[in-house]
Amino acid sequence: MKRHFTSLVLGFILAAVTGASAQTSVDSTRTRAYLAAHVGTSGAGLDFKVAVKPSFTIRAGASILPFDYNTLMTVRAQPAKIDIQADFNNAHLIFDWHPFLKEKGLSKKAFVSVGAGYFWKAEGSGTASYDGTYQYGDISIPSSELGELTGRVEWNKVAPYAGIGFQNPFPMRKVNVSFSVGAFYMGKADATLTGTKLLVNNQANQRQFEENMSFYRILPVAQVSLNFNLF
Amino acid sequence: MKKIFTLLSLSFLMGILNYGCRNPAYQLNVLFDGDVIKYKTTIMLVEADGAALPNNMKIAVTGQDAANVYDFAGLKAITAPNGVITLGIDPKVEPTTTRPLQFNVQVTADNYEPRNIPVTILPNQFSQILRAALLKVISNTPASAVKTIEAPLGAGGATTAPVSLVTPATATVTEVTSITIPAGTTFRNAAGELLVGGSLTARAINFDAGNPAALEMFPGADLSSPNVKGPDGQTGSAFFLPAGFTDIDMFVAGQEVKNFSQPINVGVQINPDFQPVGSNQDVKVGDQLAVYSYQNSTGQWQFEKNANVIRDASNKLAVNFTTDHLTVFFVGNVVSTRTCAPQSLRFTAPWLGSATITTLVQIFRTDGETLIDEEIVIASDGRVVPITGLPPFAVKYKILNASTGLLLASGDIDNACSNGNIAITLGQPGQPVQQVTLTLMVKCNGNFIIPPNFDLFYKPAGAAASQYKYLGEVSRGQLKTVMLAVGSSYDFRANWGNQTKTVNNKTITNLDMSTTVGEYDFLGDKSPEYNKALLLEACKGR
């Protein structure tokens, strides 16, 4: 599955860059500024980009990623309601460097990014509860009386970013498209697992849950930006 | 340079995309608390004469909160396997200070006096243990004597001559009850219908009010009752101090007599050592005692009259009265407890560590000899146990080790219903105590669950079944107690629903006797297949 996904993403990037290569550069000596709207795995947002040098672009902006997912599934052979919520909202400052400006073709558009994000929200929670009426002998207990199990995760506020991407450094058109792939390093998350009512005795699982969530340190970023040439 | 960049970029990409995220639920064993029922009451039935309990006991729950009462397994059909009735309250229902939960447990069995045991559950009174004795109506016991007669009836169901019934004086029950039914008396059932038959069967059971064993045979199984209609016509709780009590039953043509066409005479000889409330002198001729009657079907006591103590023809202190109905009759002092507030026992016993000890809490009058209440209480360091049904006057208490009888604490309580904590420090026994931990981890469908709390009984291995004693409540699968000794062997018994599980001849090999029970784990070495069947049944739906 992962291989398929990898191939799909690589193919997508290749196709996108091939399309972008139809653009041609013009004046490569003056500073250019863009307003960019982006959407991707880290959410949607806006960037202000400034190409202070032909090979060097600074982009500052913000992204928000509200996530809410509800589903019914079977847990331990019982119907369960699962509610997952997450928020990744960040302001970021990223530096893009075009190392192959003198090359032609796709290489010219490649850039390397480093930067950091400030996440005013980098947290998620998942709540599982029994869906239905639990039967204890002759006593019917509604799900509201059974309690729920909630896992909460919170990551660092400040996260470094690294990535790569493709964009036309000196687009002639007013609007152009760029692509980037990278990751924020979120660090080890603070994770808590709490239960209520009949699930209240799950403190013993806290350590295991923390360990499981310690594997989630990277927020992958694959995004497409629509850049508007300001001047 | 470009190749290096490409290589690094691809590596970076692959690194992100193949970043191994673990399932957040990996190796999480979600613990479901099987202890659904929070408020529990255990009633331990014993046979008054120490014999085996009858097999045909029927249990019914009545009263204002009966609809919310189940057994520990959540079953509505209440049973009494091995004489143990487990009662649990629907978890959606909670007692409050102003509205404690109240219901009655009625126990009937052929040839036994029916019992109506009132149960009151206060906030935070998560468990309590009550005891009641079942009395065979045809046998004497050390605390009771019974007499049954047959008397001919004439046409229209009337007695043809005065009928006299006197209970026997035995070696242990030296007082008697006398009944005289005038000639021409007819009999009616509870519906007021005239009963007609060839003969009258009359039976009287006289109890030795001075014998502590009679406490468990007292109506309601306790000297306190929440349902007492006093001289003022008001109904509320009260505490009974019996000088004597007697149970009179009559039958005509197989139907129970409830009323007479004319009053009958009853004479109850009383305990000569009885001391009226407010006095430290024994009862004497001329003292006035209250007569109350009790209806087992409703569990209600009712004031009948006051009567003077006399010395009867056999030179014994007695109270004579007339009545036109039948029931249990009480003679003595009754003290209203309507304004009483519940007390709590607050135990201090640092030597127990985190273990529990099964204690016998005995309440005496200030003479230190007259036992008026006895309860099994599980004590631990810092534990607060609500206690109900104490009288509104000064008493003395003793706390005993329920197994060995060793005195752990004693003292005075100035006012036993003044809504406070009674601080009790349990003395450390001379010999070192062993804190034995029994831990039962249960796996259902491969996942650990916290088993529901249940009561565990024990006896020395091989001892008679009547020797089973209450060891304690296995809470969240664990019981840590000082009642067991390493190196000793015991028989253990637990009830769940209408099932009983016994583990015989189990030796306590070390202080930690933890085990995990599961379909693919340990299932016991005595009857693993039976245990597996029990486990799979209990795990359904979990």
**Number of DSSP helices (H) and strands (E) in chain B, helices first:** 2, 37
ipTM of the complex: 0.76
Q: With an 8 Å Cβ cutoff, are B2 and A100 in contact?
A: yes
Q: With an 8 Å Cβ cutoff, are B29 and A205 in contact?
A: yes
Min distance A176 CA to chain B CA atoms (Å): 23
Which stretches does DSSP call E strand in B452-542? 454-460, 469-474, 478-481, 489-496, 499-507, 512-518
Q: With an 8 Å Cβ cutoff, are B29 and A204 in contact?
A: yes
* DSSP label of A211: H
Report how many Cβ contacts below 8 Å link chain A to chain B: 114
Min distance A228 CA to chain B CA atoms (Å): 27
Min distance B71 CA to chain A CA atoms (Å): 9
Report residue B206 as tokens. 């006289």
A2 lies within 8 A of chain B by CB: yes
The pLDDT value recorded for residue A17 is 40
The pLDDT value recorded for residue B31 is 67
Report residue B384 as tokens. 């607060």
pLDDT of residue B519 exceeding 60: no
pLDDT band at A75 (very low <50, low <70, confident <90, very high): low
Model pLDDT for residues B413-431, shown as the tens digit of each residue: 988 787 688 899 999 887 7
A-interface mutation test, from B32, B89, B539, most A Cβ less than 10 A away:
B32
Q: Give A 160-199 residues with CB within 8 A of chain B.
A: 162-164, 181-183, 193, 195, 197-199
Chain A nearest-CA residue for B76: A138
Model pLDDT for residues A22-35, shown as the tens digit of each residue: 344 445 555 688 89
Report residue B485 as tokens. 């000794």
d(CA A50, CA B292): 99
The pLDDT value recorded for residue B71 is 92
B-interface mutation test, from A41, A127, A138, most B Cβ less than 10 A away:
A138
Between B11 and B106, residue with greater pLDDT: B106
Between A10 and B462, residue with greater pLDDT: B462
d(CA B489, CA A136): 35
| β-pair partners for B412 | B396
Query: What single string gives the DSSP state of each residue in A133-202?
Result: EEEETTEEEEHHHH-EEEEEEE--SEEEEEEEEE--SSBSSSEEEEEEEEEEE--SPEEEEEE-GGG---
Q: With an 8 Å Cβ cutoff, are A9 and B447 in contact?
A: no
Model pLDDT for residues B353-370, shown as the tens digit of each residue: 999 999 999 999 998 889
Give B27's contacts in chain A (Cβ within 8 Å): 208, 212
User: What is the identity of the amino acid at A19?
Assistant: G
**Distance between start and end Cα atoms, chain B:** 61
Buried b (16+ CB within 10 A) or exposed e, B34-73: bbbbebbbbbbbebbbeeebbeebebebbbebeebbbbbb
* DSSP label of B341: B
d(CA B418, CA B224): 16
A218 lies within 8 A of chain B by CB: yes
The whole-model pTM stands at: 0.75
Report the run of H or E that residue B3 belongs to, with start and end.
helix B2-17
Q: With an 8 Å Cβ cutoff, are B71 and A5 in contact?
A: no
A6 lies within 8 A of chain B by CB: yes
The pLDDT value recorded for residue B56 is 87
d(CA A201, CA A181): 42
DSSP helix/strand/coil, B386: strand
d(CA A129, CA B399): 46
Task: Please report the domains of chain A, with CATH numbers, ordered by start residue.
Answer: 2-229 (2.40.160.170)
pLDDT of residue A7 exceeding 50: no
The pLDDT value recorded for residue B100 is 92
Query: Which among A150, A56, A45, A40 has a CA at the least distance from the CA of A98?
Result: A56
Task: Please report the domains of chain B, with CATH numbers, ordered by start residue.
Answer: 32-134 (2.60.40.1120), 144-336 (2.60.220), 343-425 (2.60.40), 436-539 (2.60.40)
pLDDT of residue B495 exceeding 90: no
The pair phi, psi for residue B156, each rounded to 5°, is 80, 5
CA angle B301, B303, B207 (to 5 degrees): 60
Strands B499-507 and B489-496: antiparallel
A102 lies within 8 A of chain B by CB: no
Chain B nearest-CA residue for A211: B24
Min distance A220 CA to chain B CA atoms (Å): 7
Across the interface, of A136, A208, A215, the residue whose CB is closest to B28 is: A208
Q: With an 8 Å Cβ cutoff, are A205 and B9 in contact?
A: no
d(CA B482, CA B513): 13
A209 lies within 8 A of chain B by CB: yes
Give A134's contacts in chain B (Cβ within 8 Å): 541
**Distance between start and end Cα atoms, chain A:** 44
Across the interface, of B2, B9, B91, the residue whose CB is closest to A103 is: B2
Find all residues with CB under 8 Å of B162, minimum gap 6, and list them. Answer: B180, B181, B182, B183
User: What is the identity of the amino acid at B3?
Assistant: K
pLDDT of residue A6 exceeding 60: no
B-interface mutation test, from A74, A109, A139, most B Cβ less than 10 A away:
A139
pLDDT band at B77 (very low <50, low <70, confident <90, very high): very high
pLDDT band at A3 (very low <50, low <70, confident <90, very high): very low
Report residue B21 as tokens. 């995220």
Min distance A49 CA to chain B CA atoms (Å): 23
Model pLDDT for residues A124-152, shown as the tens digit of each residue: 998 988 888 888 889 988 888 888 889 99
Report the run of H or E that residue B40 belongs to, with start and end.
strand B40-47
Model pLDDT for residues B84-135, shown as the tens digit of each residue: 999 999 988 999 988 999 999 999 999 899 999 999 999 989 989 999 999 9
Between B292 and A196, residue with greater pLDDT: B292
Model pLDDT for residues A160-211, shown as the tens digit of each residue: 999 999 988 767 778 889 999 999 999 999 999 998 888 887 777 888 889 8
